[in-house]
Amino acid sequence: MSVDVSWWTLRRRVLALLGVVGALLLSVAVAEAVVATKNREYTDVLLMEVGPLRVQGQEMLNALLDQETAVRGYAVTADPEDLAPYEQGLAQERVTAQEIRQLSGKYPAIVADLEAVEQQADEWRRGVAQPVIEATRTDGTEAGQALLTDEARQRFDEVRGAVSALQDEILTAREATADNVERTGNLLVILLIVAALVVGTAGIALLLALDRMVLRPLTGLAGQVREVVTGDYAHRIVGSGPPEFQRLGADVDAMRQRIAADLAEVREARERIEWVNAQLQKQAEELTRSNRDLEQFAYVASHDLQEPLRKVASFCQLLQRRYAGRLDERADQYIAFAVDGAQRMQRLINDLLAFSRIGRLTAGFTEVDLNSLMADVAAQTEPARQYADAELTWGNLPVIRGEEPLLTNLLVNLVSNSVKFRRPDVPPKVHVSARLVGEEWEISCQDNGIGIEPEFADKIFVIFQRLHAKDAYPGTGIGLAIVKKIVEYHGGRVWVDTDVPEGTAIRFTLPAMPGDVEAARQSGQPAGATEPDSDAADHDASPPVGEQAGGDGTVSVDADTDSAHRSTDDPAAGSAGARTADVARQGDADGATGEAPGRGGRSGSGDTGGMKEAVG
Task: Write the DSSP string, 407-438.
Answer: HHHHHHHHHHHHHHSPPTTS--EEEEEEEEET
Burial call 173-199: b when 16+ CB within 10 Å, e when fewer: bbeebbebbeebeebbeebeebbeebe
Pairing type for strands 391-394 and 429-437 reads parallel
Given this model, what pLDDT does residue 354 score? 64
What are the backbone dihedrals phi and psi of residue 189, each rounded to the nearest 5 degrees, phi first? -60, -40
Given this model, what pLDDT does residue 14 score? 77
Given this model, what pLDDT does residue 211 score? 79
Given this model, what pLDDT does residue 474 score? 58
Given this model, what pLDDT does residue 600 score? 39
Q: Of 143-157, 374-388, 466-480, 583-597, where does mean pLDDT reach its minimum?
A: 583-597
Q: Which among 77-91, 551-565, 598-612 has the top mean pLDDT? A: 77-91
Q: What is the pLDDT of residues 497-506, one digit of tens each?
A: 888 888 888 8
| Rounded Cα gap, residues 257 and 259, in angstroms | 5
DSSP track, 324-337: TTTS-HHHHHHHHH
The set of residues, in sequence order, having a beta carbon less than 8 Å from that of 551 and lying 6+ positions away, is: 431, 433, 444, 446, 500, 503, 505
Q: Which among 354-368, 459-473, 559-573 has the top mean pLDDT? A: 354-368
Per the prediction, the chain carries an average pLDDT of 75
Rg from Cα positions in the chain: 64
The yes-or-no verdict on residue 491 having pLDDT over 70 is: yes
| Rounded Cα gap, residues 130 and 30, in angstroms | 62
**Which whole number is the average pLDDT over 266-289?**
88
| Rounded Cα gap, residues 541 and 549, in angstroms | 22
Given this model, what pLDDT does residue 356 score? 62
Handedness of CA 342, 344, 348, 354 (dihedral sign): positive
Q: Which residue has the higher pLDDT, 247 or 609?
A: 247
Q: Of 119-133, 425-439, 465-479, where does mean pLDDT reach its minimum?
A: 465-479
Given this model, what pLDDT does residue 572 score? 33
Residue 537 three-state SS:
coil
The yes-or-no verdict on residue 188 having pLDDT over 50 is: yes
Strand-pairing partners, residue 435, are: 442, 530
The set of residues, in sequence order, having a beta carbon less than 8 Å from that of 401 and lying 6+ positions away, is: 365, 366, 367, 368, 511, 513
Given this model, what pLDDT does residue 203 score? 84
Helix (H) or strand (E) holding 340: helix 329-357
The yes-or-no verdict on residue 236 having pLDDT over 70 is: yes
The yes-or-no verdict on residue 108 having pLDDT over 60 is: yes
Residue 173 three-state SS:
helix
The set of residues, in sequence order, having a beta carbon less than 8 Å from that of 209 and lying 6+ positions away, is: 13, 14, 17
The set of residues, in sequence order, having a beta carbon less than 8 Å from that of 536 and lying 6+ positions away, is: 393, 394, 395, 396, 547, 554, 555, 556, 557
The set of residues, in sequence order, having a beta carbon less than 8 Å from that of 33 and lying 6+ positions away, is: none
The yes-or-no verdict on residue 509 having pLDDT over 90 is: yes
Residue 527 three-state SS:
coil
Q: What is the pLDDT of residues 50-71, one digit of tens each?
A: 788 888 888 888 988 888 888 8
Q: What is the pLDDT of residues 548-597, one digit of tens each?
A: 333 333 333 333 333 233 333 333 333 333 333 333 333 333 333 333 33
Given this model, what pLDDT does residue 141 score? 84
What are the Cα distances from residue 90, in Å, to 87, 94, 112? 5, 6, 20
DSSP state of 441: E
| Residue type present at position 526 | P
Pairing type for strands 546-549 and 555-558 reads antiparallel
**Which whole number is the average pLDDT over 433-440?**
90
Question: Of the candidates 609, 597, 616, which has an alpha carbon nearest to the alpha carbon of residue 421?
Answer: 597
Question: Of the candidates 444, 378, 435, 414, which has an alpha carbon nearest to the alpha carbon of residue 588?
Answer: 414
Q: What is the pLDDT of residues 372-397, one digit of tens each?
A: 999 999 998 898 888 888 899 999 99
Q: What is the pLDDT of residues 396-432, one digit of tens each?
A: 999 999 988 888 988 998 998 888 888 888 889 999 9
Given this model, what pLDDT does residue 546 score? 32
Model confidence at 232, in pLDDT bands (50, 70, 90)? confident
Number of Cβ within a 10 Å radius of residue 539: 18
Half-sphere exposure of 527 (CA within 13 A, CB side): 5
| Rounded Cα gap, residues 470 and 433, in angstroms | 31
Residue 393 three-state SS:
strand
Given this model, what pLDDT does residue 607 score? 39
| Rounded Cα gap, residues 344 and 478, in angstroms | 12
| Rounded Cα gap, residues 102 and 111, in angstroms | 10
| Residue type present at position 416 | S
Q: What percent of the chain has pLDDT over 90?
A: 8
| Rounded Cα gap, residues 39 and 186, in angstroms | 10
Given this model, what pLDDT does residue 348 score? 66
What are the backbone dihedrals phi and psi of residue 79, each rounded to the nearest 5 degrees, phi first? -90, 125
| Rounded Cα gap, residues 487 and 410, in angstroms | 8
Given this model, what pLDDT does residue 20 score? 85
Q: Which residue has the higher pLDDT, 169 or 566?
A: 169
The yes-or-no verdict on residue 364 having pLDDT over 80 is: no
Question: Of the candidates 388, 393, 383, 427, which has an alpha carbon nearest to the alpha carbon of residue 568?
Answer: 383
The yes-or-no verdict on residue 167 having pLDDT over 90 is: no
**Which whole number is the average pLDDT over 292-296?**
69
Q: What percent of the chain has pLDDT over 70?
A: 75
Q: What angle do CA 493, 495, 497 make, to 5 degrees?
A: 140
| Residue type present at position 10 | L
| Rounded Cα gap, residues 100 and 95, in angstroms | 9
Model confidence at 445, in pLDDT bands (50, 70, 90)? very high
| Rounded Cα gap, residues 602 and 436, in angstroms | 29
What are the backbone dihedrals phi and psi of residue 449, each rounded to the nearest 5 degrees, phi first? -85, -150
| Rounded Cα gap, residues 320 and 180, in angstroms | 149
What are the Cα distances from residue 350, in Å, to 21, 121, 302, 415, 475? 99, 154, 7, 19, 12
DSSP track, 287-303: HHHHHHHHHHHHHHHHT
Question: Of the candidates 398, 368, 392, 373, which has an alpha carbon nearest to the alpha carbon of residue 534?
Answer: 398
Number of Cβ within a 10 Å radius of residue 445: 24
